[in-house]
């Protein structure tokens, strides 16, 4: 298994930034606070995130992930202010918005280059920041999944579906299905089955260079392909969905003290 450094980029002071919000969360007051901090720091707020030096996502993990996905390939990192329920990927709490954002604008942040997935089906390739899922298209009906890794047959598993997750996505749907948590720095993906009807189906961690192929071999139940929680295609009978670690990296900006295991402790292991 290979690993990658969490940051390979300098952190210059910010001159332009964009604000991204979730439509279902009222963060109008927070937007005003961000603009006030930016004005004091001499930072211009622009409308288009791809034209900014930094994108500030106000919301939960979903907002941060959507912003990371939209900015793939742009070179623009994303920092999250947690207005969601979990906020595992966020670095800034709302009550510290002014102080922490001022530090960020002054260059006090790190850029983490995180692995993505490339999923191909019927000649189309989709990039995923979090996960790719092959799942039963009929609620309550199992499918039988045949899969191989690096061209080597691994077997078949009756289940509700199969998740391939990046380290970023390992703490989401993968975790809720009993999959392993992959710490930042690992250049790998986790493979976890959803409700497997087998005592022998166990999660597997696969490194870069090993392509995973998934086929639905159930004759009477269709399958669907989900990318970062969105249904993007149906998997035809005996269709081949291939998933590998992508060449692009998602760029997550964090405060220096916001470490992976610190967030893991605070979000998943602390007693309420």
What is the pLDDT, as a whole number, of residue 23?
65
Ordered domains of the chain (ranges, CATH) = 16-114+249-269 (3.40.50.10330), 116-247 (2.60.200.30)
pLDDT at 10: 59
pLDDT at 26: 74
Asked whether 62 and 84 are in contact (CB, 8 A), the reply is yes
Q: Which two tokens stand for residue 167?
A: 């380290």
Give the span between the Cα atoms of 67 and 26, in whole angstroms.
17
Token pair of 36 as six digits: 């006030």
Q: Tell me what pLDDT residue 1 has.
A: 47
Contacts of 270 (CB under 8 A, 6+ apart): none
Residue 36 CA to residue 123 CA, distance in Å, equals 47
Token look-up 């979903």 returns 62
Integer Cα distance of 251 and 235 in angstroms: 30
Q: Spell out the alpha helix ranges (H) of 17-159.
A: 28-41, 61-70, 97-105
Tell me what pLDDT residue 7 has. 43
Specify the pLDDT at position 72: 95
Q: Look at residues 48, 236, 252 and name the one whose alpha carbon lies nearest to residue 130.
A: 252
- Closest Cα partner for 204 from 172, 182, 237? 182
The reply to whether 61 belongs to the active site is yes
Active-site hit among 47, 51, 61, 187: 61
Q: Are 27 and 58 in contact (CB under 8 A)?
A: yes
Burial (0-12, 13-18, 19+ Cβ within 10 Å), 267: middle
At 146, which helix (H) or strand (E)? strand 143-149
According to DSSP, the residues that pair with 111 across neighbouring strands are: 253
The model's pLDDT over 164-206, given as tens digits with 9 standing for 90+, comes to: 999 999 998 999 999 999 998 899 999 999 999 988 899 999 9
pLDDT computed for residue 236 by the predictor: 84
pLDDT of residue 133: 97
- pLDDT < 50 regions, the chain: 1-8, 271
- What are the strands of the beta sheet with 204-207, ordered from one edge? 204-207, 188-194, 161-165, 131-136, 223-227, 230-235
3-state secondary structure of 42: coil
Angle between helices 97-105 and 28-41 (to 10 degrees): 40
Instruction: Please give the pLDDT value at position 5.
Output: 42
């Amino acid at each position: 298994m290979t690993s990658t450094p969490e940051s390979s980029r300098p952190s210059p002071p910010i001159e332009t930034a964009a604000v991204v919000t979730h439509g279902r969360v009222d963060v109008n007051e927070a937007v005003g606070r961000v603009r006030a901090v930016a004005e004091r720091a001499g930072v211009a707020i622009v409308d288009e995130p791809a034209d900014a030096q930094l994108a500030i996502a106000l919301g939960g993990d979903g907002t941060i992930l959507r912003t990371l996905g939209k900015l793939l390939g742009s070179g623009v990192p994303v920092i999250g202010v947690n207005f969601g329920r979990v906020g595992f990927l966020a670095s800034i709490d709302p009550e510290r918005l002014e102080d922490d954002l001022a530090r960020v604008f002054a260059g006090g942040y790190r850029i983490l280059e995180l692995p993505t997935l490339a999923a191909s089906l019927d000649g189309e390739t989709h990039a995923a920041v979090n996960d790719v899922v092959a799942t039963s298209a009929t609620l309550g009906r199992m499918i039988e999944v045949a899969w191989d890794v690096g061209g080597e047959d691994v077997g078949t598993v009756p289940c509700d579906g199969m998740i391939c997750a990046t380290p970023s996505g390992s703490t989401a749907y993968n975790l809720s299905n009993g999959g392993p948590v992959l710490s930042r720095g690992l250049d790998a993906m986790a493979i976890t089955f959803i409700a497997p009807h087998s005592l022998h189906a166990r999660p597997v961690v696969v490194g870069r260079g090993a392509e995973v192929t998934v086929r639905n071999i159930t004759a009477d139940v269709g399958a669907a392909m989900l990318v970062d929680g969105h249904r993007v295609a149906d998997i035809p009978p005996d269709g081949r969905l291939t998933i590998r670690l992508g060449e692009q990296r998602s760029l997550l900006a964090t405060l220096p003290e916001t470490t992976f295991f610190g967030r893991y402790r605070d979000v998943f292991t602390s007693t309420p």
